Structure 1
Amino acid sequence: MGITAIEGILDTTLGLVFTWLGWKTYKILWKYTPYAYPNARLNAMEAKLLGEQRFNELAESRTLQNFIVNLEDTDYKTHLASVQADDPVEIERAFERALASTYTLLEDILPDRVGGFFRLMLKGWDVRNVANVVKAKMRGETAVDYIMDIGTMVPKVKAIADAKSPEEILVILEGTPYEEPYQRLLLGEISLSEFETAVYRNYYSELLEYAQSRKDEEKEVLTEFVRLLIDMRNIVTVLRAKKAGLPAEEARKNIIPGGSIKLDAMLNVDDMGMALAELDSTKYGRIIRDVRDKIESDLSVLESVLRKHAIDRMKELTRFYPLSVATPLAYVLEKEREVQKLKALTKMIADGVEPERIKVTLGGEELA
């Protein structure tokens, strides 16, 4: 073989090697670089989350007006600026708007390939709005009182509240994920509670479908996140049903598909204690073991424990994938927990609960 031929082979080989290296470099940059800025920003935002000491200070507010004033050095100031200081419902809704603005921010600053997930999460308010307004209309209540001014279809929800007939609501919902369940409700095929479960099923199905359409660790992390949310909802649903003495088939109607654990064993036992015993054999067993006795008397303890587990799991994934969607998901869960505590604090201050009792409640996160 001549020198020229050897040089040609070497040039071709080097060209292939450099092409491969260039492609690998591009892929790494494409995957990880877009997370550098948003995750750095989220780390700074996480440092501003309210800690236990700050919540203890807020517990001393005694009046809602003082409570609002004590939050003036936080990002909640903007959302609280226009609320009536003596209206706990308005204050709670301001906290909800603050949480929704977090989803909007994440949609804006994250890579397009995952930003849409947080847009979908905003639809959680759509589900609540539609379910609450339809229930209010069916019960003859003032539906507009149940509208949260958040979500992707607020004008439609307001139109539903103003609708003169059930058939007019069906027209308004045409082309939305809520049309089919509402039609079944009108035909008497499902109950009002089953309608609510149906719209939540659509919501979680959409989240899960989006997660599973991603690639690599984005798919892995988003899918686990959604399954965690579904598990949390289903476990609490089953235990509430057992506590109320509902039969398995009634409880099964409220289950959301797509979770990571099988619920048949929990559904088919006779009472809540036995259902908790069945939960022990799942991956959540170790999480509830130390607080099982408390859970039997107060299900809000379970919700708190499961929420903490979800946060811990997302934080664990941030160590495996430091430049990934795990960081914003962990932050979202922490922000949701903070907002829930602030809403609970609002209600307790409005009800005149003593500061020391508030501190105990918030410390144990008995927020239901």
Structure 2
Amino acid sequence: METGPISAILDTTLAIIFTWVGYKTAAIVWKYTPYSYPNARINAMEAKLLSEQRFNELAESRTLQNFVVNLEDTDYRDYLTGISTYNVEEIERSLERALAGTYELMIKILPGRVSPFFRLMLEEWDVRNVTSVVKAKFRGEPASDYVMEIGPMLPKVKAMAEAKSPEEMLVILEGTPYEGPYQRLLLGEISIQEFETELYRMHYGKLLSYALSKKNDERVILEEFVRLRIDRTNILTVLRAKAAGMDSEKIKSLVIPGGSVKLDPLIHVEDLSMALAELDSTRYGKVIRDVREEVEKDLSVLERALDKYILERMGELTRFYPLSVATPLGYILKREREIRKLRAIAKLIEDGVEPERIKELVGDVA
């Protein structure tokens, strides 16, 4: 019996198997290895997030100067050292710069196939700066007081703040994504509120387009993150509008597309209570039910509940995809929550609230 043909078949089969194994191994290495270092670094950073005990100690500061001093052994030290006057505005600006620094770090350490997402997220400060400057100009206030020293468009924003006329601001915005909406604002086609909404639509549209351009785990995680953020924004916008008695057509003009919740049923009901009832059948139903009575009195309770839900959802994705972009996104959310608490403590200290009451109030901040 000749063994030549059989050996050839076996050799070919083995070659195919080894090629397939090699391909799958390479695919796994390409998919997960780039996250090993950054996620290990992020896990170490998470261990340095402030504990509840530390927040309680900060609540005992009594003065804003003591509050800043008490943060000198944290990652916020470098951002707080430049404070010239101890007031809430200066502290909040420093904390915002610390948050932006976190985004910038993610851009540096994450794989090139996802780091642009965090660069896009930094553009939210451009949206906030542009809208703040435009609003200040329309109110006749000093626009430079509202500029946050963050964002890719900061030089243009500063130029806008110094502009002598609305037309000069339009020239500065020429060639940017915000030129069109601002021109429509000047022509009276949209209101200031609609102008702001349009800029956020553009921002979230970019984030969602980027998420949908990815594949596999990265698409799943990024898409979920963006849609959750859009849902949060839309739900709060609609409910606040209902509480203010705004009509349905006006509310529609303030909605951002791309979320997972169908908003028409909420928009067309008569009042806030009925809008909350409509949310009961959505993925946020349990979130609403847990705080329903409080929400009807104070919508900020729902804002905190939604933030907590999004953080928990990212935690689930991190456990399911441990070496993925879910880890940095989860850390960003935790950092945002930490900064919200620090801002709340600073504001309460400035208002002269007693430490025990500060601890109680800040404990409720998601």
Q: Mean alpha-carbon deviation: is it higher for 149-158 or for 134-143?
A: 134-143
Deviations, residues 346-368 of structure 1 (Å, cap 9, x unaligned): 111111111122111111118xx
Q: Is the 8 A contact 1:248 1:268 kept in 2?
A: yes
Matched with 2:332 is 332
Matched with 2:214 is 214
Q: Mean alpha-carbon deviation: is it higher for 307-316 or for 175-184?
A: 175-184
Matched with 2:19 is 19
TM-score between the two structures when normalised by the length of structure 1: 0.97
| SS state at 1:128 partner | helix
Q: CA deviation at 1:13?
A: 1.6
Deviations, residues 297-328 of structure 1 (Å, cap 9, x unaligned): 11111010000000100000111101000111
One-letter code aligned to 2:331: Y
Distance, in Å, in 1 between the alignment partners of 2:75 and 2:332 is: 15
One-letter code aligned to 2:197: T
Identical-residue share of aligned pairs (%) = 66
Distance, in Å, in 2 between the alignment partners of 1:71 and 1:215 is: 41
Matched with 2:289 is 289
| SS state at 2:287 partner | helix
Distance, in Å, in 1 between the alignment partners of 2:2 and 2:93 is: 80
Deviations, residues 244-297 of structure 1 (Å, cap 9, x unaligned): 111111111111100001011111111111111111111101112121111111
Q: CA deviation at 1:157?
A: 0.2
Distance 1:61 1:85, change over 3 A: farther
Deviations, residues 167-218 of structure 1 (Å, cap 9, x unaligned): 2211211121111111111111111110000000000000000011011010
Q: Mean alpha-carbon deviation: is it higher for 44-53 or for 25-34?
A: 44-53
Q: Mean alpha-carbon deviation: is it higher for 295-304 or for 78-87?
A: 78-87
1:349 equivalent to 2:353? Answer no
**What do you get for the CA RMSD once the two structures are aligned?**
1.1
Distance, in Å, in 2 between the alignment partners of 1:286 and 1:103 is: 31
Distance, in Å, in 1 between the alignment partners of 2:318 and 2:364 is: 26
Q: CA deviation at 1:69?
A: 0.9
Q: 1:123-272 to 2 correspondence within 5 Å?
A: 123-272=123-272
Q: CA deviation at 1:131?
A: 0.6
Matched with 1:48 is 48
Q: Is the 8 A contact 2:340 2:365 kept in 1?
A: no
Q: Is the 8 A contact 1:68 1:80 kept in 2?
A: yes
Q: CA deviation at 1:227?
A: 0.3
Matched with 1:119 is 119
Q: CA deviation at 1:136?
A: 1.0
TM-score between the two structures when normalised by the length of structure 2: 0.98
Matched with 1:8 is 8
Q: CA deviation at 1:341?
A: 1.1
Distance, in Å, in 1 between the alignment partners of 2:287 and 2:140 is: 42
Distance, in Å, in 2 between the alignment partners of 1:167 and 1:13 is: 72
Q: CA deviation at 1:5?
A: 2.2
Q: CA deviation at 1:85?
A: 4.5
One-letter code aligned to 2:45: M
Distance, in Å, in 1 between the alignment partners of 2:51 and 2:302 is: 21
Q: Is the 8 A contact 1:80 1:91 kept in 2?
A: yes
Matched with 1:64 is 64
Q: Is the 8 A contact 1:85 1:91 kept in 2?
A: no
One-letter code aligned to 1:143: A
| SS state at 2:208 partner | helix
Q: Is the 8 A contact 1:245 1:271 kept in 2?
A: yes
List structure 1 runs of 4+ shifted beyond 3 angstroms: none
| SS state at 2:123 partner | helix
One-letter code aligned to 1:118: F
Q: Is the 8 A contact 1:64 1:85 kept in 2?
A: no
Q: Is the 8 A contact 1:68 1:85 kept in 2?
A: no
Q: Mean alpha-carbon deviation: is it higher for 6-15 or for 178-187?
A: 6-15
Q: CA deviation at 1:3?
A: 2.1
Distance, in Å, in 1 between the alignment partners of 2:81 and 2:27 is: 45
1:96 equivalent to 2:70? Answer no
Q: How many residues align?
A: 366
Matched with 1:303 is 303
Q: CA deviation at 1:2?
A: 3.9
Q: Is the 8 A contact 1:170 1:179 kept in 2?
A: yes
Distance, in Å, in 1 between the alignment partners of 2:291 and 2:116 is: 37
| SS state at 1:177 partner | coil
Q: CA deviation at 1:84?
A: 2.5
Distance, in Å, in 2 between the alignment partners of 1:177 and 1:23 is: 42
Matched with 1:107 is 107
Distance, in Å, in 2 between the alignment partners of 1:277 and 1:150 is: 39
Distance, in Å, in 2 between the alignment partners of 1:354 and 1:5 is: 89
Matched with 1:314 is 314
